[in-house]
Amino acid sequence: MNHLSSKNNIEWHDQLKSRLEDSGLKCHFFVEDNFSLILFSENHIAIHLINLKNHFRPADLIQLQEKYNNSGMKLIHLWEDIWVSRPAQVLARIKSLLGLNERIHGRKTKVNKIAKPIADHFINENHLQGAVSSRYKLGLFEGEHLVAVATFSALRRMNHTENYQSAELIRFAVKAGYTVTGGLSKLISHFHAIQKPNDLMTYADRDWSAGEAYATLGFKPTGLLEPQEFLLDEHLNRKLRKDQVSVSFHPLVFNTGSYKFILEF
pLDDT in tens, 72-105: 999 999 999 999 999 999 999 999 999 999 999 9
* Mean pLDDT value across the chain: 92
Give residue-wise pLDDT tens across range 160-206: 889 999 999 999 999 999 999 999 999 999 999 999 999 999 999 99
Give residue 10's pLDDT: 81
Q: Could you give the number of structural domains in the chain? A: 2
Of 81, 97, 113, the domain-final residue:
97
What's the CATH code of the domain at 80?
A: 3.40.960.10
| Shared domain check, 127 and 161 | yes
**In whole angstroms, what is the distance from residue 218 CA to residue 230 CA?**
31
Please name which of 81, 62, 79, 60 lies closest in space to residue 4, comparing C-alpha atoms.
81
Give residue 244's pLDDT: 62
| Shared domain check, 28 and 90 | yes
Give residue-wise pLDDT tens across range 193-224: 999 999 999 999 999 999 999 999 999 999 99
**Ranges assigned E (strand) in the chain:** 28-32, 35-40, 45-50, 74-79, 102-105, 110-113, 136-142, 145-152, 156-158, 164-174, 178-181, 199-205, 220-225, 229-232, 238-240, 253-254, 258-264
223 located within any domain: no
Give residue-wise pLDDT tens across range 7-18: 456 899 999 999
Of 157, 179, 197, the domain-final residue:
197
pLDDT over threshold 50, residue 3: no
Domain of 73, in residue numbers: 3-97
pLDDT over threshold 90, residue 254: yes
What's the CATH code of the domain at 164?
A: 3.40.630.30
